[in-house]
Structure 1
Amino acid sequence: MSNFLRTTICAFLLSGCTYANSEPMPYKSWYLGFSAPAYMEVWIETADVVDIQNHVYPRAMSGLASMLKPPNNSGDPRGWPKRASIGSGKHVTGADLPKQIYVRWQSQVEPQTYLMVVKIPEATREIMLKGEKVFCAADGKWITGYRQSIGIRLVPGGIAKVWVGGPCMTPIEVTAVKAVIDPRGPYEGKSGGHYRPLSAVSKAYVEKFGVPYGSW
């Protein structure tokens, strides 16, 4: 665990703030996923979760964020999607509902390393606990659905938006976050400044069109 994460978690826990969830989760685990715009490749070094019981789950997610790479530069990375994808990720098994999510990631097209803290408000947790009757077109059935997934979209410039969603349910945007640059660089300064390389498809797009700053 990085010194940044230790310091931030300790400061928060020592503040004496506590959160109580009045209801048990109606599902065994919740899902944490990440996505990025087309060609704007993102490598998540770590996503560490603190739940409402103040339990810490280091590296609850790491790896590539989901992203489209249409051939022949036919994709469009600009702007935010009308219907957000939860993205690639993992179930945070054993955790209660989230209180904070700490993310360190590489924006490979810049390249730059970012740090951010996503604070999950009580209103978002209430959404995650609320069941809704929804129709699933895939199997033609009505179900009681829950928004049991948190999706975080990471874009160049260190901007992130967060949605909650679930099977057959429309995602709801809950917050936006502006990250800070990690001055240590990639891998907490342990790689000599070397970033993960871009794929050939993403490299070709960026070399021709650049990064569409200002569209997010």
Structure 2
Amino acid sequence: MRLVISIHKSLLIIFCLLISACSVKHQVKSQQLSEWTVSTISPKYYTVRGDILLIEGETKQRGWRGMIGKATMESEQPLSWNELGRFHSGYFIESKELPRSLYIRWHSLANKKSYHKTVVVSDDLRNKMREYHDIRCGYYDLLLPYKNNILLGLAPDGMISVFLNGGCFDNELQFKVQAVEYKVVDDFVYPELSEEAQAYVDEHGVPVGIW
């Protein structure tokens, strides 16, 4: 009799464990990405000023418009994105709908040129953003399971490097696209570079085709 009771208890425990595992698995699968950012960064010393950012939703039934911020964050190196940080200036959006395209216009202070471009966000990139990863990181061991930031590296020659990252994920280059020079009004005045940045540009110039 005791053996039968013991077997029943064991079966009940196993059943409960299976139900719990299925419940957890269902919770993970049911989680959806509901907030994301589009951010910008420029090479060190080659400061840019974000002008406008237009985001079209994937269903084409909604969109977002915002300023990226007057001072775009800069990378750690002037001539590469190798040590690109995850922390940057960005535009935060709270929505389960992801972007279909991004229109960006910005001013390069180093060579006093302006650029604009529509960047198409593919299904593949959106799928990467929605993919759930059971990963924790940081001092507080936070669960940050999504690659939910599209980072646009804006070079002074108009090249845009499109990265994907997240709180627990390093930058992953997705593709590059060349922006088109934008004709500003005749009386437009470009802001001045900092003294340190201007000294660097005076010595090294503004390279083309290296970012």
TM-score, length basis structure 1: 0.75
What residue number does 2:53 align with? 47
- Alignment check: 8 A CA contact 2:77 2:83 kept: no
What residue number does 1:133 align with? 134
Point out the structure with the larger helix share. 2
What residue number does 2:16 align with? none
Q: How does 1:91-130 map to 2 (within 5 A)?
A: 91-94=92-95, 96-130=97-131
Aligned-partner Cα distance in 2 for 1:129–1:195: 39
**28, 34, 55: which is aligned to 2:34?**
28
Gaps of 5+ in 1: 1-22, 69-74
Matching of residue 201 in structure 1 with residue 196 in structure 2: yes
Matching of residue 210 in structure 1 with residue 211 in structure 2: no
Specify the structure having the higher radius of gyration (Cα).
2
Aligned length: 182
Q: Which amino acid aligns with 1:58?
A: R
Q: Which amino acid aligns with 1:209?
A: H
Aligned-partner Cα distance in 2 for 1:207–1:89: 29
Aligned-partner Cα distance in 2 for 1:144–1:157: 34
Relative to 1, partners in 2 of residues 1:107 and 1:60: Cα closer, same or farther, differing over 3 Å? closer
Relative to 1, partners in 2 of residues 1:123 and 1:144: Cα closer, same or farther, differing over 3 Å? same
Structure 1 stretches (4+) deviating beyond 4 angstroms? none
Structure 1 residue 209, shift from structure 2 partner: 2.0
Structure 1 residue 181, shift from structure 2 partner: 0.6
- Alignment check: 8 A CA contact 1:77 1:212 kept: no
| CA offset digits 1:68-106 (Å, max 9, x no partner) | 5xxxxxx74012225553521120234720000000100
Relative to 1, partners in 2 of residues 1:97 and 1:36: Cα closer, same or farther, differing over 3 Å? same
Q: Which amino acid aligns with 1:163?
A: F
Q: Which amino acid aligns with 2:39?
A: G
Aligned-partner Cα distance in 2 for 1:102–1:198: 25
- Alignment check: 8 A CA contact 1:46 1:103 kept: yes
Relative to 1, partners in 2 of residues 1:31 and 1:25: Cα closer, same or farther, differing over 3 Å? farther
| CA offset digits 1:192-214 (Å, max 9, x no partner) | 13112212221121112222334
Aligned-partner Cα distance in 1 for 2:162–2:199: 29
Percent identity reads 23
Relative to 1, partners in 2 of residues 1:95 and 1:168: Cα closer, same or farther, differing over 3 Å? closer
**42, 67, 74: which is aligned to 1:67?**
74
What residue number does 2:81 align with? 80
- Alignment check: 8 A CA contact 1:33 1:86 kept: no
Relative to 1, partners in 2 of residues 1:137 and 1:93: Cα closer, same or farther, differing over 3 Å? closer
Relative to 1, partners in 2 of residues 1:156 and 1:146: Cα closer, same or farther, differing over 3 Å? same
- Alignment check: 8 A CA contact 1:86 1:165 kept: no
What residue number does 1:13 align with? none
RMSD of Structure 2 on Structure 1 (CA) = 2.4
